[in-house]
Structure 1
Amino acid sequence: MEKQKSKDPLHGITLKTILEQLVEYYGFDTLGEIVKIKCFNENPSIKSSLTFLRKTDWARLKVEELYIDSLSKFIKE
């Protein structure tokens, strides 16, 4: 019997990986313009951003949506 692949593009990807890829591609400056949250605009770091995103569902959803929308850009480069 074959295992079915998950159709969820976030399946198996950690929040840290998502954030690191977004920061690598956009940088914190652009990321802060796209997703207007304080942790991207004031003394940004991966660690502080992860702390905030793990506690704040609406912000995490925005970051996950941006990641999904950006997947094709990551692949092209």
Structure 2
Amino acid sequence: MSDKQPENPLHGVTLERLLEELVAEYGWAELGRIIDIRCFNNDPSIKSSLTFLRKTPWARKQVEELYLVKKED
């Protein structure tokens, strides 16, 4: 079985790296406006956001989709 995922654009990108790039691009305030979740709007940090996103599939999906849109630009 191969661990390669040529069709997966997120292959090899950690959630932490993805989030750090989004924060660098948009900042916490804009990121919280785009995706309205508490961990982006109230005392945001990478650590608290990672904890939330790892436990909340719908929020993680929104963050991943935003990352992919950003990468297309």
Same-fold status (TM-score > 0.5): yes
Name the Cα RMSD after superposition. 1.3
Structure 1 stretch displaced more, 4-13 or 51-60: 4-13
Alignment gaps of 5+ in structure 2: none
Distance in structure 2 (CA, Å) of the matches to 1:49 and 1:5: 26
Distance in structure 2 (CA, Å) of the matches to 1:67 and 1:5: 18
Alignment gaps of 5+ in structure 1: none
Identity of aligned residues (%): 57
SS at match of 1:23: helix
SS at match of 1:27: helix
Q: Is 1:56 paired with 2:56?
A: yes
Q: Which runs of 4+ in 1 moved over 3 A?
A: none
Higher relative contact order (CA 8 A, sep 6+): 1
Tell me the TM-score normalised to structure 1 length.
0.86
Task: Count how many residue pairs are aligned between Structure 1 and Structure 2.
Answer: 70
Tell me the TM-score normalised to structure 2 length.
0.90
